[in-house]
Amino acid sequence: VAEALFKSCLGNGIGVALEPEYAADKLFSPAYGSFIVELKPGASLDDVDGITVAPLGATTSEYTFSACGEKIDLAWLQGAWERPLEGVFPYRSHGAGEDSDGSVGAVEGSTTSGNVGAVEAVTFDGGTMRHKYSGPTLTHPARPHTVIPVFPGNNCEYDVSRAFERAGAEPTTLIINNLTASDIAESANALAAEIDRSQIVMIPGGFSGGDEPDGSAKFICALFRAPQVTEAVRRLLNDRDGLMLGICNGFQALIKLGLVPYGDIRPMDDTCPTLTFNTIGRHQSKLVRTRVASTLSPWLSRCTPGDIHTIAISHGEGRFVASDELLVRLKNAGQIATQYVDAEGIPSMDLSVNPNGSVWAIEGITSPDGRVLGKMGHTERAGSGLYRNIPELTPGDQFQPLIEGGVDYFA
């Protein structure tokens, strides 16, 4: 019982206070086949023959474990429980503000005493969306055709397609076949043709090619570097004023192609930014808070700098890295789109806030004119009925109107 309650508290960040008469020996005795059930205040369980139902206690907002006349700080207890195997199974990265023993010290330049590793909250003050659509006239209301190439290992195409359809676009998924060399060539031709009849290219998330060999998005990049696909992308962006979006695995492809932050498919060198392995050394899957830093991009036209959204992330290679010189250029040009932030809206290098350790807590960036956007968070994973067990979410908090902004661009 003690272990089950303790782990439940950790998972939800809440405390528990047991009934005063609950005996200590029951806490640490086996309770095979038993269930701990959490009920709303005033609710009760119906009697079941042969089943004993006994009240345990109540959850508390204070992060403590209260039982048998004693109260234990759960933050301290959590540290004692996690620390012994941290060297084998790391659960955090040792970043800004952590001493060699894992304890927290002062951080120079920290903007808040509660946020160790706080970094600057970037806000682009160069105006809102600068680029206006001037391509071929669409029907009214505009329903931009969107091609979603599905590579082996992608797993977000259904969510993405639904999100674009809900926003008013006309999505088409194109399966990329890699069984034989001729299949790959045929898929490249088919993708180029779909891009030529589309206004939007959206590269979805997942693990294309199993993130092999040695890193993510290599197969996506190889296909987009096929001459016919590269030229189709350039016609989309340069001649028809189209848009591109890449989320998670799609962001990894955009950045390794050069489409963000440079706006074109180009050779890569050691001065280019990239997305690499999370500092923790393993996959991270959780909800994060992201803050809009710039509305340069048409994708963010429905947002305001400072808007905060709760977004799902799931990746092993999401750490954005770039030189200091490039970071300053991106900031000044308004190309830093979104940052990971804490509960107070402050960007941070703290792993609980910035789960991959991205420099400057960057979650998303754009091309120079904002028409190509890459981000790690799964904006498409939102809808009515989701995240009902996340108490800190307010109505609409998990909905980021990014795809809707992209569709608006063509209106």
What residues are labeled active site?
Answer: 248, 378, 380
Full DSSP string of 75-98: HHHHHHHHGGGTTTS--S---TTB
Kindly state the tokens that stand for 354: 């910035």
Torsion angle in degrees (nearest 10) through CA of 129, 134, 135, 136: 130
Full DSSP string of 387-408: STT-TTPPTTTT--THHHHHHH
Torsion angle in degrees (nearest 10) through CA of 216, 220, 223, 224: -110
CA atoms lying within 13 Å on the CB side of residue 225: 14
- Long-range contacts of residues 219-223, Cβ cutoff 8 Å, at least 24 apart: 219/151, 219/152, 219/178, 220/149, 220/151, 220/249, 220/250, 220/252, 220/253, 221/253, 221/256, 221/257, 223/149, 223/151, 223/176, 223/184, 223/187, 223/188, 223/191
For residue 16, what are the contacts with CB-CB under 8 A and spacing of at least 6? 5, 8, 9, 57, 58, 59, 60, 65, 66
- The whole-angstrom separation of Cα 58 and Cα 278 is 37
